[in-house]
């Protein structure tokens, strides 16, 4: 069986989903927690493939988004059990989530989508409309 990029992404997704499932059922919080940014990055990679299965110039931006979001989750995870409300009135884990991860993901993911579409995926749409 020949595996292409989409197959590899689906397998990676299955591994991450399995880790999340085990984490949620067995109460291993970090398995579920740290799989989130990785799964998001994998899905963004899936959505950025063009019809021929290429990423083109979008790869550095996708990797950058994945690295930053994973680093932010690690930051939040480190402060997860610190109960001191010293991050804008919240515990550091919640504070990082509310003040950093939420705005970053909301803004950066939208901009990244626009960039990927404009630079790479639009040619697929043009081809369909021609």
What does the binding site for another protein look like in residue numbers (CB under 8 A)?
6-7, 9-10, 13-14, 17-18, 20-21, 24-27, 29, 32, 43, 46-47, 49, 51-52, 57, 118-119, 122-123, 126-127, 130
Per residue, what are the HEC states of the chain?
A: CCCCHHHHHHHHHHHHHHHHHHHHHHCCHHHHHHHHHHHHHHHHHHHCCCCCCCCHHHHHHHHHHHHHHHHHHHHHHHCCCCCCCCECCECHHHHHHHHHHHHHHHHHHHHHHHHHHHHHHHHHHHHHHC
In whole angstroms, how close is the CB of 76 to another protein at the nearest point?
14
In whole angstroms, how close is the CB of 116 to another protein at the nearest point?
13
In whole angstroms, how close is the CB of 94 to another protein at the nearest point?
12
Closer residue to another protein in complex, CB, 6/103 = 6
């Amino acid at each position: 069986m020949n595996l292409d990029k989409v197959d590899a992404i689906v397998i990676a997704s299955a591994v991450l989903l399995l880790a999340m499932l085990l984490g949620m059922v067995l109460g291993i919080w970090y398995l579920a927690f740290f799989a989130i940014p990785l799964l998001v990055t994998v899905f963004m990679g899936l959505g950025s493939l063009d019809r021929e299965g290429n990423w083109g110039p979008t790869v550095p931006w996708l990797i950058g988004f994945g690295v930053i979001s994973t680093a932010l989750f690690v930051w939040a995870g480190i402060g997860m059990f610190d109960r001191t409300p010293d991050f804008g009135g919240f515990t550091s884990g919640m504070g990082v989530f509310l003040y950093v991860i939420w705005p970053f993901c909301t803004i950066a993911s939208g901009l990244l989508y626009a960039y990927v579409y404009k630079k790479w995926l639009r040619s697929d749409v043009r081809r369909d409309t021609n």
